[in-house]
Amino acid sequence: MSIPSGIVIRPMAPADLDAILNIEQASFSVPWQREHFEHEMAAPHSFPFVAESSGSIVGYVCLMSLFEEAQILDIAVAPQQRGKGIAQLLMDHAVAVAREKKAEVLALEVRSTNSSAITLYERCGFVRTGVREKYYEGRDDAVLMEKCLR
């Protein structure tokens, strides 16, 4: 997959929220609300970023890093922009920031039925470390994944 050109990764800003919420609602059956993103922008150990192309938000990632562990809390790409390498760019950026913050491990959880996301995470060097049964809406399992950053 080629790296998309013209994509800028930058810190999330309040003005981005309407576009982010549209992507979030199109991506998840139980989407985050505006307050979740506002909290991430304000929290001292959170590092939310957006991917922007030609002035439009095409994706985002919310990273939390505290001491030796970092976690990807939320990541999504606009449905019409998927398959173009934007999620890969966001993941690479999250890994770089986590390393910069001296994290030794980067963790995430993903719905067991989201095979395209699991494939992306494995391609980024994440390994499966466990399962939370019926974690999503009491139905779908969550696959726990980690990437060693040392």
Active site residue 135: no
Q: 26-53 burial, b for 16+ CB within 10 Å, e for fewer?
A: ebeeeebeeebbeebbeeeebbbbbbbb
Active site residue 121: yes
Q: Which one is catalytic: 40, 121, 136, 146? A: 121
Q: Write the CB contacts of 124 (distance below 8 Å, at least 6 apart in sequence).
A: 88, 91, 92, 95, 147
Q: Which one is catalytic: 109, 122, 135, 146? A: 109
Q: Which residues are tagged catalytic? A: 109, 121
